[in-house]
Amino acid sequence: MPYLLYMHTVCIGPSIMTITFLGVPTGGTEPLPLYSFHVPAGFPSPAADHLESHISLDELFDLRAPHVYLVKVEGDSMQGAGIYSGDIVIVDRGREAEHGDIVIAAVNSEPVCKRLHRRDGVVILKSENTAYPPRYIMEGDDLVVWGVVRYSVRDHAQ
């Protein structure tokens, strides 16, 4: 699947993170079989009873939507949220970022993947790794939220 590529390395204090913008996928995917493993209510069949439907990854992850794009994240600052170095995150820029969302954002033009905390006028971008301190957004900082992370994809065969 072809992507538009852009890489940016970010160093914020002790945190080092590389974000690669993969862009919007341009190819389509064929629907894949979706199997469920429940107890059949009749004579068991080896596979036929487990085939629930066919599902397209494009539809499942809303990949064809113009407001959805992919980002490859490097670094360990979000591992507590289940986002590991090398994972690809699916980002929805059409969704309003809310308190507690994981976002792709830029702080003073430096891209980051962090959890957004917004309470009583205070904005904090937090890592999900205690080795990294929270980033308080101060007066004069430029914060642009590029989108909300909806899903992450990991290659388990590595």
Active site residues: 77, 114
- Sequence-distant (6+) residues with CB within 8 A of 142 are 106, 107, 108, 109
**What's the CA gap between 89 and 22, in Å, rounded?**
10
The answer to whether residues 10 and 16 touch, using CB atoms and an 8 Å cutoff, is yes
**What's the CA gap between 102 and 92, in Å, rounded?**
11
**What's the CA gap between 58 and 79, in Å, rounded?**
26
